[in-house]
Amino acid sequence: MTALLIIVALLLLFVIVLLAKTVRIVPQARAGIVERFGKYKQTLPAGLNVVVPFVDKVHYLIDLREQVVSFPPQPVITEDNLVVSIDTVIYFQVTDPIAATYEIANYIQAIEQLTMTTLRNIVGGMDLEETLTSRDQINSGLRGVLDEATGKWGIRVNRVELKGIDPPPSIKDSMEKQMRADREKRAVILTAEGQRQAAILTAEGAKQSSILTAEGARESQILRAQADRESSILRAQGEGQAIQTVFQAIHDGRPDQSLLAYQYLQMMPKIAEGDANKVWIVPSEIGKALEGLGSTMNSLQGIPQETSGPAKRVDMGPTEPQLPGRDSEMSATDEAVRAAIAEAESAAEGRSRRPAVEDPGLPTPGDTTDDGEAPAAP
């Protein structure tokens, strides 16, 4: 019984081992290379696969996904004999598992060496400045050479990128100084440009302000001139109307010499007023005026009377109010003349205490000396 159990257990163990050798599971995006007696038999796809146990053997599982390999920096000499350090990144994918297994022993190492040699060939034909500024050109040239060389290995190179290009330390210092100088130059240019724009805007603002100020001053002067013109016109019109009224009143009153002498005597006290009046100039016509006044005082009956009819008016424009008639005016002539004479005499007596010159023989405004000049008043 015990021997039977042992045999059954051995059979079960054999079946389990047989199943393990027969059934093979290949992960997704993988490919299994099967060899029978050391010779390639088939390629197992992803999923559950059955092989002949103890005869077929899965030696390799090839990754069919796109792979990324970063190579360490490689020293490369440029055309101007400068050593630069370049590190690259390659994106590739296995398209033929059989070729990748049997055409090349280690395709990653082969890609690295091929990348190094191709990079030296490409960069060797460029100077340092062109190398630093032609990354796209280097990438496209390197990808073309690698893709063509790795095609027989069942590998497709999708992309090649240069991670960094490091020039020698001395060149790096010079480049940093140049970059600092360029940045300072750009900063100075931008500052100057900003100041220029600010000055232009300030000048434009001042210009507009000056224009507006000038326009405002011009409008103000125009309005002020218009106001002055209208004021002058109105003042002239008023003065003209006043002159017309006075002229018409004088014409209606028919003044004679006695009335003019009376008006002159009324103005004498006003002429005598004021401390600044130090010298009196008595014109020669005052004698004639006094003679007329004396004749008026001695014979009031000799004053010409108004006619029975209305006085002839002079057409001076708009009609103004009529002044009082000659009858009412001459009724108070005697009293007014006497009051004016008394007031003039009192003013003359008050001024007699101050230095004064009263010379009836002073020359009239029309008299001149022998040399054509008017004599000076004493």
CA count, 13 A, side-chain hemisphere, 377: 14
Q: Are residues 378 and 259 located together in one domain of the fold?
A: yes
Q: Are residues 263 and 371 located together in one domain of the fold?
A: yes
Q: Give the model's pLDDT for residue 322.
A: 42
47-50 and 23-26 strand pairing: antiparallel
Write out the H or E segment, with its range, that includes residue 310: none
| For residues 342-350, average pLDDT | 64
Contact 138, 131 (CB under 8 A): yes
Q: Give the model's pLDDT for residue 94.
A: 94
Residues 61-97 have pLDDT tens digits of: 899 999 999 988 989 998 888 889 998 999 999 999 9
Residues 287-300 have pLDDT tens digits of: 565 565 555 555 54
CA distance 261 to 289: 5
Q: Are residues 6 and 53 located together in one domain of the fold?
A: yes
Q: Give the model's pLDDT for residue 260.
A: 64
Nearest alpha-carbon partner for 103 in 43, 151, 34, 38: 151
Contact 88, 161 (CB under 8 A): yes
**142 or 248, which is more confident?**
142
Q: How far is CA 65 from its chain centroid? A: 61
Q: Give the model's pLDDT for residue 320.
A: 41
Q: Give the model's pLDDT for residue 299.
A: 52
| For residues 163-170, average pLDDT | 86
CA distance 61 to 35: 12
Q: Give the model's pLDDT for residue 57.
A: 87
| For residues 155-179, average pLDDT | 86
In a domain, 312, yes or no: no
pTM of model > 0.75: no
Q: Are residues 221 and 287 located together in one domain of the fold?
A: no
CA distance 281 to 377: 9
Contact 65, 91 (CB under 8 A): no
Q: Are residues 152 and 186 located together in one domain of the fold?
A: no
Q: Give the model's pLDDT for residue 274.
A: 59
Q: Give the model's pLDDT for residue 264.
A: 65
The residue range of the domain holding 36 is 2-63
Residue 360, pLDDT > 50, answer no
Q: Are residues 80 and 160 located together in one domain of the fold?
A: yes
In a domain, 351, yes or no: yes
Q: Give the model's pLDDT for residue 32.
A: 92
Q: Are residues 91 and 116 located together in one domain of the fold?
A: yes
Q: Are residues 196 and 153 located together in one domain of the fold?
A: no
Lowest mean pLDDT of 20-34, 61-75, 200-214, 307-321, name the range: 307-321
In a domain, 318, yes or no: no
CA distance 249 to 323: 5
Residues 215-244 have pLDDT tens digits of: 999 999 999 999 999 999 998 898 888 888
In a domain, 322, yes or no: no
Q: Are residues 70 and 95 located together in one domain of the fold?
A: yes
CA distance 276 to 279: 9
> What is the C-alpha R_g of the chain?
67
Query: Structurally, how many domains does the chain consist of?
Result: 4
Q: What angle do helix axes 135-150 and 107-123 make, rounded to 10 degrees? A: 140
Q: Are residues 260 and 373 located together in one domain of the fold?
A: yes
Q: Are residues 272 and 221 located together in one domain of the fold?
A: no
Q: Give the model's pLDDT for residue 91.
A: 94
Residue 21, pLDDT > 60, answer yes
Q: Are residues 111 and 208 located together in one domain of the fold?
A: no
Q: Give the model's pLDDT for residue 273.
A: 66
Cα–Cα distance list, 115 to 63, 85, 87, 269, 284 (Å): 21, 14, 10, 130, 135
What proportion of the chain, given as a percentage, has pLDDT over 70?
A: 67
Cα–Cα distance list, 287 to 138, 238, 272, 282, 292 (Å): 129, 36, 18, 9, 9
Q: Give the model's pLDDT for residue 282.
A: 55
In a domain, 30, yes or no: yes
Asked which of 117, 141, 167 is the last residue of a domain, the reply is 167
The beta strand positions in the chain, using DSSP E, are: 23-26, 30-36, 39-44, 47-50, 56-63, 66-70, 74-77, 83-94, 155-166
CA distance 156 to 150: 7
pLDDT band at 374 (very low <50, low <70, confident <90, very high): very low
